[in-house]
Amino acid sequence: MKERQRISSGTKWEPFVGYSRAVKVGDRIYVSGTTATDERGEIVGIGDAYAQTLQTIRNIERALRHFGAGLETVVRTRMFVTDISRWEEYGRAHGELFGEVRPATSMIEVKNLIDRAMLVEIEADAEL
């Protein structure tokens, strides 16, 4: 069995729900659903889908860096959005930060996220 490493964001929800911010097994990294929060847990970019998407991807990048990886190693993202009609805002931010990486992706509209002020949640899978 391959070694399993994990990191925590330190939120109170991780032990309660039973998840990790990211898990590395072998050369693969799986980043849990991530939202647009800052270091204090406050939502960044209230009402701004573009700003929230940028912050969310920066948070994913921070988790990847823990394992010596970066956005260039991402092979798949899943974007859960609360208003698909704003797809261009989410998509523009995703495109700017992933540039030439161009991972496989999905954008799925959901009714709500855990906090109604959150507009987007993104999961990422990476390969070293």
Domain locations along the chain: 4-127
What average pLDDT does range 72-87 have in this prediction?
98
pLDDT confidence band for 114 (50 / 70 / 90): very high
Is the pLDDT score of 9 beyond 90? no
Task: Report pLDDT digits (tens) over 40-64.
Answer: 889 999 999 999 999 999 999 999 9
Is the pLDDT score of 92 beyond 90? yes
pLDDT value at position 25? 97
Q: Which amino acid is at 100?
A: E
Which residue reads 């798949």 in tokens? 76
C-alpha distances (whole Å) from 84 to each of 26, 71, 103, 108 are: 35, 24, 20, 7
| Architecture (CATH level 2) of domain 4-127 | 2-Layer Sandwich (3.30)
Nearest Cα neighbor of 60 from 111, 123, 128 is 123
